[in-house]
A and B are shown apart, each in its own frame.
Chain A
Amino acid sequence: MQSESARMSSAAEARYRIDAPNSKPRSVKVIALDHPSERVIEDLAQRKWNNASFFTASAFGGTPLKGDSFAGWLSDLAGRTKNLIEEVNSADLVVMVATAGESAQAASIIGEACSVKRVMTTALVLGGQSISDEALSKTLSHLRPWALMLVIASAEEYIADMLAALRA
Chain B
Amino acid sequence: MLRKEQNDLLTQTGPGTPMGQMFRLSWQPALLAEELPENECPQVRVKLLGERLLAWRDTQGNYALTDEFCAHRGVSLWFGRNEHNGLRCPYHGWKYDHTGQCTEVPSEPSESGFCQKIKLKSYPLVERGGVLWTYMGPPEKQPPLPEWEFAMVPGSHSFMSKRLQESNWLQAMEGGIDSSHVSFLHSGELNSDPLFKGSKGNTYNMADMKPVFEVVESPGGLYIGARRNAENGNYYWRVTQYVMPAFTMIPPRADHPVHGHFWVPIDDENCWAWSFDYKVTRPLSEKERKAMEAGQGIHVAYVPGTYIPTANKTNDYLVDRKAQKEGRTYSGVFGIAMQDASLQESMGPIVDRTKENLVSTDNGIIMARHRLLRALKTMEKGDTPPGIVAEHQRVRSAAVVLPPDKHFKDAAKEALVVQTGKEHVTV
Question: Given A5-B346, A122-B363, are A152 and B214 also a contact pair (CB < 8 Å)?
Answer: yes
* Cβ-neighbour of B363 out of A4, A9, A136, A149 (below 8 A): A149
Q: In the complex, how many angstroms separate the beta carbon of A86 from the nearest chain B beta carbon?
A: 22
Query: Which chain A residues border B409 with CB–CB below 8 Å?
Result: 152
Per-position 1/0 for A61-93, Cβ under 8 A of B? 000000000000000000000000000000001
Q: Are B342 and A5 in contact (CB under 8 A)?
A: yes
Q: In the complex, how many angstroms separate the beta carbon of B199 from the nearest chain A beta carbon?
A: 25
Q: Are B166 and A9 in contact (CB under 8 A)?
A: yes
Q: In the complex the two chains form, what is the Cα distance from A17 to B350 in whole Å?
A: 13
Q: Which residues of A come within 8 Å of B, CB atoms?
A: 2-6, 8-11, 13-14, 17, 22-23, 93, 120-122, 128-129, 133, 136-137, 140-141, 144, 147-155, 157-158, 161-162, 164-167
Q: Are A3 and B345 in contact (CB under 8 A)?
A: no
Query: Which chain A residues border B166 with CB–CB below 8 Å?
Result: 9
Within 8 A of A (CB), among B271-314: 313-314
Q: Are B216 and A9 in contact (CB under 8 A)?
A: no
B121 within 8 A of partner (CB): no
Q: In the complex, how many angstroms separate the beta carbon of A167 from the nearest chain B beta carbon?
A: 6
Q: In the complex the two chains form, what is the Cα distance from A137 to B407 in whole Å?
A: 6
Q: Are B314 and A6 in contact (CB under 8 A)?
A: yes
Q: Are A165 and B358 in contact (CB under 8 A)?
A: yes
Q: Are B314 and A136 in contact (CB under 8 A)?
A: no
Main secondary structure of the interface of A (DSSP, over half): mixed
Query: Which chain B residues border A161 with CB–CB below 8 Å?
Result: 366, 369-370, 373
Query: Which chain B residues border A93 with CB–CB below 8 Å?
Result: 360
Q: Are A151 and B214 in contact (CB under 8 A)?
A: yes
Question: Given A149-B363, A151-B214, are A23 and B313 also a contact pair (CB < 8 Å)?
Answer: no
17 more contacts with CB within 8 A, not counting A6-B314, A9-B313, A151-B363, are A3-B314, A9-B348, A9-B349, A10-B349, A129-B217, A136-B407, A141-B405, A148-B361, A149-B212, A150-B212, A150-B213, A150-B214, A152-B215, A152-B217, A153-B217, A161-B369, A166-B358
* Cβ-neighbour of B367 out of A14, A128, A153 (below 8 A): A153
Q: In the complex the two chains form, what is the Cα distance from A125 to B362 in whole Å?
A: 17
Query: Which chain B residues border A162 with CB–CB below 8 Å?
Result: 363, 366-367, 370
Within 8 A of A (CB), among B319-351: 342, 345-350
Q: In the complex the two chains form, what is the Cα distance from A152 to B216 in whole Å?
A: 5
Q: In the complex, how many angstroms separate the beta carbon of B344 from the nearest chain A beta carbon?
A: 10
Q: In the complex, how many angstroms separate the beta carbon of A29 from the nearest chain B beta carbon?
A: 13
B357 within 8 A of partner (CB): yes
